[in-house]
Amino acid sequence: MHELRERLETHQVAIYFAAIVAAVACAFALSGTASWEAAINPALALMLYVTFLQVPMAELRRAFTQMRFLGALLVANFVVIPVLVGLLVQLLPVDPLVRLGVLLVLLAPCIDYVVTFSHLGRADARLLLAATPALLIAQMLLLPVYLNAFLGASAAGPVQLAPFLDAFVWLIAVPLLLAALTQFWAAKHASSVKVSAVLGLLPVPATAFVLLVVVAAVVPQLGSAREIALKVAPIYVAFAVAAPLLGWLIARLFRLEAPAGRAVAFSAATRNSLVVLPLALAVPGAVPVLPAIIVTQTMIELISELVYMRSIAKFGGGSDAR
């Protein structure tokens, strides 16, 4: 089981792109997107459940005792990165919907596959994994504030509070509670070892399934939004270059050890595109512009992660283990 899990994590980028290719094929072969759209939130909940399941409750306590790491993580993601994003969106067309899409995806730090990418990049992945609930709660609380600050109340008005509350309940509270209950059950039953091993295999397949569902739901609706996707792509490339360097700089200012610093760099560079998509779809007139903007970021990010796994691993030098 452990060997299979290592293979899944090592080849996850190839698995994700295979899921995207399969999704495009499904989108053209099967008419209609309603069923795919209906599957997005359940698929996300499953992905987050198996992600949270990898976090021992003791590790959650560890994350909140590592105050320098948590401070660096929060400053990087919710102070420094918003400043970078605020500068980058000035290069976009003066279109509130386009800017809204870019802000939605770039202001939200990833809480799922960033963990396995950071592990492969010699970062302290367990510490980052333990901090994922805090990251998700913080972004859900702060995202409306940032949107209002960057866009103004009138432009940010179509972003309703209800989808954020719904996402908090179904994508944070329920998966986290189920993960805690599963761990409690596993601690009481010796027969749970095999079940836990199987569940440990699921994060990469679950993320691939989310990509398949999301892309299959979005591709038929892209249409004229392809031109907009091309306009936002350079912004995402610039972000992909600057964000990990800024994350590493913050980690150095907080005097973190190299593995923890790499975790901050990965977190700063990797965004929560899959989880914010349901929020974007709830915006009136979102389709096809917002889905196109968000999926474009996902494609560029997956390619960037291949570079990060090699380049961020060298940050700080040394021969520390993953």
Whole-prediction pTM? 0.88
Q: What pLDDT does 220 receive?
A: 79
Please give the single-letter amino acid code of residue 8. Answer: L
**CA-wise closest residue to 97 among 238, 1, 231:** 231
Domains and CATH numbers, the chain: 2-314 (1.20.1530.20)
Q: Which residues of 89-109 are buried (b: 16+ CB within 10 A; e: fewer)?
A: beebeeeebbbbbbbbbbbbb
User: What's the rounded Cα separation, in Å, for the pair 64 and 184?
Assistant: 21
Please report the pLDDT score of residue 322 as a whole number. 40
Asked if 72 and 263 count as a contact pair (C-beta separation under 8 A), the reply is: no
8 Å CB contact between 203 and 10: no
C-alpha 81/C-alpha 99 separation (Å) is 16
Residue 68 CB coordination number (10 Å): 13
Residue 129's pLDDT is what?
85
Burial of 79: CB neighbours in 10 Å, binned 0-12, 13-18, 19+: exposed
Question: What pLDDT, in 10s, does the model give residues 22-66?
Answer: 998 988 887 666 778 888 889 988 988 988 887 776 666 666 678
What per-residue confidence (pLDDT) applies to 158? 62
Low-confidence stretches of the chain (pLDDT beneath 70)? 31-33, 57-64, 153-161, 164, 224, 318-322
